[in-house]
């Protein structure tokens, strides 16, 4: 697919652990020289790098096509929510405006001024928008295909950037037809709209343009989910992970996908935490770095939408009282996370379950066995794993209540 070709993926070890094969071998070498403490600095460096990775998404098109509403939908916000992109019937965006995701600030949507307006004629648009800083572009269209939209797609292609063509306001198209008394065949109408977009984009020598038909207010209708899946699939793995964690919790599948992503960073945090208070026998004490455990567990809660602001946003979107959502969450998971909480909720089961007989991490091919005798690593890993499991189960319950899923 032109404009949205899949990125090249590295070895399976890199996909599973965020490390290249060369970096994994370096970790093994450092472990052999200095034990767990020998690899701690390398893993801290990797986690710091992961936390700094940014994903910048440009949303462009003509004025009045619904760019701001689309940005709000992608950030899981209503147009009236605090921090939402400004929506108006006149041109409201006069310069590229950055809108960080409310729970994943490394993911930012940039609302670009409308192309073709008096302030931003097509011929000057590229130079003024600083296209090079964006990872990919989403061209928003509404109504009839415009010449400027085709030119924009052609210019982005020439810059060797990925783009996706999104036709918004599909719900309004159907509504207008029905209000006018017309009998419509929705399937045929969607096919005709898509065909027109593809045909006009092909005139700009884009042979297989990526086209998605959506409503920014009906997130489970039309191509909205397919758009997210396509964006996700075409990102490099590390950027894909932060994009997935920025999803609004709209289904059980999304919660489970987030949980899987979070699980992949547990071993790194466990290594750092376990190295601080390594003990030869499990169960002696909470021999872990409480600061790291607390930070990671709070991160799990935020990513899975169980912190206060996330629960309130979901309640607003689904018109459910927030107390109904909180009622299905284990009350302890909503408490302040500290050493007492960790010890009370997860330490007891961990001390019983952890054994130095656990000598393999199958999902880390190169360094899978180097932690085999480090019991504190396993205690920390087990605490984080159990915490993630509990948060995931509660997040699934919340989504089911919010959306009335049996």
pLDDT in tens, 217-231: 988 889 999 999 999
Mean pLDDT, range 365-392, rounded to an integer: 71
pLDDT at 278 over 60: no
Long-range residue pairs from 253-260, CB within 8 A, at least 24 positions apart, any chain: 254/399, 255/304, 255/305, 255/392, 255/395, 255/396, 255/399, 256/392, 256/396, 258/303, 258/304, 258/395, 259/304, 259/388, 259/391, 259/392, 259/395
What confidence score (pLDDT) does residue 380 get? 80
Task: Identify any residues that bridge with 55 across adjacent strands, giving them in sequence order.
Answer: 107
- Over range 143-167, report the average pLDDT: 88
Average pLDDT, the chain: 80
Higher pLDDT, 88 or 222: 222
| DSSP label at residue 346 | I
What pLDDT shows up at residue 373? 39
Is the pLDDT at 90 greater than 90? The verdict is no
Q: What is the mean pLDDT of residues 9-20?
A: 46
Q: What percent of the chain has pLDDT over 90?
A: 42
Q: Residue 127: what pLDDT?
A: 67
Tokens 């159990």 label which residue?
386
319-334 tens-digit pLDDT? 999 999 999 999 999 9
E-only strand ranges, 1-159: 55-61, 97-100, 107-111, 136-141
Residue matched to tokens 């750092």: 272
Tell me how far apart the alpha carbons of residues 47 and 49 are, in angstroms, rounded to a whole number: 5
Per-residue pLDDT at 252 = 96
- Tell me 251's DSSP state: S
Residues in contact with 333: Cβ distance below 8 Å, sequence separation at least 6, in sequence order:
301, 306, 345, 390, 391, 394
User: Residue 116: its pLDDT value, please?
Assistant: 60
Is residue 366 classed as helix, strand or coil in its secondary structure?
Answer: coil
Domain boundaries 54-245, CATH class:
alpha beta
| 27-85 per-position pLDDT tens digit | 777 777 776 667 777 777 877 887 889 999 999 988 889 999 999 999 999 888 888 99
Is 317 a residue whose pLDDT tops 50? yes
**pLDDT-wise least confident of 43-57, 137-151, 157-171, 381-395:** 43-57
**Which two structure tokens, joined as six digits, stand for 312?**
């309130």
Q: What is the pLDDT of residues 337-376, one digit of tens each?
A: 988 888 888 876 555 554 433 433 444 444 444 444 355 6
The residues facing 137 across adjacent strands are 58, 163
Bigger pLDDT: 300 or 204? 300
pLDDT bucket at 282, cuts 50 / 70 / 90: very low
| Spans of all domains in the chain | 12-51+249-403, 54-245
Confirm if 223 and 236 have CB atoms less than 8 A apart: no
Most confident residue range from 187-201, 257-271, 277-291: 187-201
Enumerate the β-bridge partners of residue 166: 140, 212
């Amino acid at each position: 697919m032109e404009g949205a070709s899949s990125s090249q993926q590295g070895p399976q070890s890199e996909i599973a652990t965020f490390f290249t094969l060369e970096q994994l071998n370096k970790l093994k070498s450092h472990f052999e020289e200095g034990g767990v403490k020998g690899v701690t600095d390398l893993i801290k460096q990797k986690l710091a790098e992961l936390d700094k990775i940014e994903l910048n998404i440009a949303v462009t098109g003509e004025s009045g096509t619904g760019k701001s509403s689309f940005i709000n939908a992608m950030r899981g916000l209503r147009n009236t929510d605090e921090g939402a992109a400004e929506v108006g019937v006149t041109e409201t965006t006069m310069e590229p405006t950055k809108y960080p995701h409310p729970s994943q600030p490394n993911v930012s949507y940039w609302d670009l001024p409308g192309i073709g307006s008096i302030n931003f004629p097509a011929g000057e648009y590229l130079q003024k928008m600083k296209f090079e800083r964006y990872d990919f572009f989403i061209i928003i269209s509404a109504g009839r295909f415009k010449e400027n939209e085709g030119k924009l797609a052609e210019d982005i292609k020439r810059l060797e950037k990925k783009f996706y063509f999104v036709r918004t306001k599909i719900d309004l198209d159907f509504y207008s037809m029905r209000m006018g008394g017309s009998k419509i065949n929705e399937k045929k109408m969607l096919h005709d709209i898509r065909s027109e977009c593809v045909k006009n984009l092909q005139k700009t020598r884009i042979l297989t343009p990526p086209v998605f038909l959506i409503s920014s207010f009906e997130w489970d209708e039309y191509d909205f989910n397919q758009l997210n899946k396509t964006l996700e699939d075409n990102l490099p793995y590390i950027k894909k992970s932060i994009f997935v964690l920025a999803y609004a919790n709209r289904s059980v599948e999304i919660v489970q996908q987030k949980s899987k992503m979070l699980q992949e960073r547990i071993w790194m945090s466990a290594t750092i935490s376990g190295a601080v208070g390594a003990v030869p026998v499990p169960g002696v004490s909470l021999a872990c770095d409480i600061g790291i455990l607390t930070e990671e567990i709070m991160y799990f809660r935020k990513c899975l939408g169980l912190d206060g602001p996330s629960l309130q946003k979901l309640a607003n979107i689904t018109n459910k009282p927030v107390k109904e959502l909180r009622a299905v969450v284990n009350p302890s998971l909503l408490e302040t996370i500290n050493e007492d909480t960790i010890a009370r909720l997860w330490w007891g089961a961990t001390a019983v379950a952890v054994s130095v007989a656990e000598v393999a991490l199958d999902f880390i091919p190169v360094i899978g066995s180097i932690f085999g005798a480090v019991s504190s690593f396993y205690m920390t890993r087990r605490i984080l794993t159990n915490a993630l499991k509990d948060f995931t189960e509660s997040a699934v319950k919340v989504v089911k209540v919010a959306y009335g899923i049996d």
